[in-house]
Amino acid sequence: MRNLTPTTITQAFADYARKAPSARTRDLMVSLAAHLHSFVRENKLTQDEWMAAIDVLTRAAKFTDDKRNEFILLSDLLGVSSLVDMVNATDSGTTSSLLGPFLIEGAPELPNGGDMWRGQEGEPLVVSGKVVDEKGKPAKGTVLALWQNAGNGLYAQQDSKQAPTNYHARLKVADDGSFAFTTVRPVAYQVPYDGPAGDMLRALGRDAWRPAHLHMMVHAPGHKPLITMFFPEDDKHLDSDAVFGVRVPLVLPFAKETVRAKLPANLAARETLPLPVWTARLDLALPAG
Three-state secondary-structure class, residue 213:
coil
How far apart CA 63 and CA 53 sit, in angstroms, is 15
Closest C-alpha among 84, 80, 85 to residue 96: 85
Nearer CB in complex with Fe ion: 100/287: 100
- The least distance separating Fe ion from the CB of residue 100, rounded to whole angstroms, comes to 4
Q: Can you tell me which of 101, 138, 151, 153 binds ligand BEZ, judged by CB under 6 A?
A: 101
Which residue stretch of 82-90, 99-107, 168-176, 248-256 sits at the interface with Fe ion (rule: CB under 5 A)?
A: 99-107
122 is a contact residue toward Fe ion (CB under 5 A) = no
- The least distance separating ligand BEZ from the CB of residue 163, rounded to whole angstroms, comes to 18
Mask 219-248, x = binds ligand BEZ (CB under 6 A)?
Answer: ------------------------x-----
Residues 144, 170: contact at Cβ < 8 Å?
A: yes
How far apart CA 265 and CA 160 sit, in angstroms, is 35
Residues 204, 225: contact at Cβ < 8 Å?
A: no
Q: What is the dihedral of CA 249, 250, 253, 254, to 10 degrees?
A: 160
**Which residues, 6+ apart, have CB-to-CB distance to 127 below 8 Å?**
180, 181, 182, 183, 214, 279, 280, 281, 282
Mask 123-162, x = binds ligand BEZ (CB under 6 A)?
Answer: ----------------------------------------
124 is a contact residue toward Fe ion (CB under 5 A) = no
Nearer CB in complex with ligand BEZ: 146/191: 191
Which residue stretch of 97-105, 106-114, 130-138, 191-199 sits at the interface with Fe ion (rule: CB under 5 A)?
A: 97-105
Cis peptide before 276 (omega within 30 of 0): yes
- The least distance separating Fe ion from the CB of residue 166, rounded to whole angstroms, comes to 14
* 40-46 contact pairs (CB < 8 A, 24+): 41/6, 41/7
By CB under 6 A, the residues from 194 to 223 that bind ligand BEZ are: 210
Closest C-alpha among 184, 188, 186 to residue 236: 188
102 is a contact residue toward ligand BEZ (CB under 6 A) = yes
100 is a contact residue toward ligand BEZ (CB under 6 A) = yes
- The least distance separating ligand BEZ from the CB of residue 141, rounded to whole angstroms, comes to 27
Per partner kind, with CB cut-offs from 5 to 8 A, the member of Fe ion, ligand BEZ, none near residue 243 is: ligand BEZ
How far apart CA 30 and CA 18 sit, in angstroms, is 10
Which residue stretch of 47-55, 99-107, 108-116, 258-266 sits at the interface with ligand BEZ (rule: CB under 6 A)?
A: 99-107
Closest C-alpha among 106, 94, 99, 70 to residue 82: 99
Nearer CB in complex with Fe ion: 197/269: 197
100 is a contact residue toward Fe ion (CB under 5 A) = yes
Residues that bind ligand BEZ (CB under 6 A): 73, 76, 100-102, 191, 210, 243
Residues that bind Fe ion (CB under 5 A): 100
